Amino acid sequence: MARFTGKVAIVTGAASGIGKATARRFAAEGTSVVVADINSTPAAEVVDGINSDGGKAFSVACDISQDAQVQSLVSFAMKRFGRVDILVNCAARFLMKGGMEAKEEDWREVFATNVAGTALCCRYAAERMKEAGGGAIVIVSSISGMIADPNYATYSTSKAALLMLARSLAIDFGAWNIRVNAVSPGAVDTPSLKRALERESLSQEQFEAIIYGRQCLRMLIQPDHIASPILFLASDDARAITGANLVVDAGFLTGK
C-alpha cells in the first residue's frame, strides 16, 4: 500500500516509541517524513533506518515548547519538500505528579510542551496546509486524559487539554479543509513506560498482570498498534472525520 505517495509528514517526538513507529510506517507508505525530536542522536538513527529501507526522511532537533524552534521545523519541511500535508504530534513530557506534590514549575513545564507546544506545531503547520488547500493533523493524547489516577495530576490534566485542543482546532481549521483528530492510547510498550515502571518499582511481569486484569484483551499494546490508527486518521479513508478521539486501549476503559 502507498496511501501517502507524494505526501509530506512532520512527526514530533519521533525518536522513539509511538512517534518512531509512526514515522517508519508513513515512510513505508510513500511519505517523505520529517523526524522531529528534542533528542537529536536517536532521531538521526530513526532517519538512517528509514532511508536504508528505501524511504525518505530527515531529522530536525526541536524543542516544541520553543516557538522559534517550531517555526524553524515547519520552515525546514517547506524548504526541503515544498509542502506539509500531515502533522502528527507525539512529543510529550511524561511528568507525573500529584496535586499536593506539583509545584508551579512542574505545571509550567508539562503544559509548555504537551499543550502549548502541540498547539504551536498545529498553528504553524496549519498555516502551510491552508495555503495548499488542506491537510490532516493527529494529536496523540492518552486515556489518562479521560480518567483520573492517583499522582497523575500534571500529566493527566495536560492530556485532557489536548482532547479539547483537537476539538477546538477542528472547528478553527475546518474551513480550510484541515482535519484535526486525537488518538488516546492506553498503556503502550515504550521506553517511557519502562521508565515509569522503574519509578514505581514494578517488574514487567507485575505490570502485565495488573493491566491484563483491567483490559478486555490480554495483550501489551505495541507502538505499531497506535501507528495504524494514526495513519488511518491522516489518510483519505478518514476524509469525513474531524474533531474525533479514537481510543486505542485494548478495552481498558470499557468497564469504567
**What are the tens digits of pLDDT across the range 22-40?**
999 999 999 999 999 999 9
CB 140 within 8 A of CB 182: yes
Residue from 183, 161, 175 nearest 244 by CA = 183
CATH code of the domain containing 96? 3.40.50.720
In a domain, 232, yes or no: yes
In a domain, 104, yes or no: yes
In a domain, 198, yes or no: no
**What are the tens digits of pLDDT across the range 39-89?**
999 999 999 999 999 999 999 999 999 999 999 999 999 999 999 999 999
In a domain, 200, yes or no: no
DSSP, collapsed to helix, strand or coil, labels residue 36 as strand
**What are the tens digits of pLDDT across the range 181-221?**
999 999 999 988 888 888 778 898 999 999 999 999 999 99
Longest dimension (CA), the chain: 51
Alpha helices, H only, the chain: 17-28, 40-52, 67-81, 104-111, 118-132, 153-173, 191-199, 204-212, 223-234
In a domain, 24, yes or no: yes
Total-model pTM: 0.96
Q: Which domain holds residue 134?
A: 8-187+225-250
In a domain, 192, yes or no: no
In a domain, 21, yes or no: yes
Q: How many domains does the chain have?
A: 1
Q: Which residues pair with 80 in a beta bridge?
A: none
Active site residues: 155
In a domain, 87, yes or no: yes
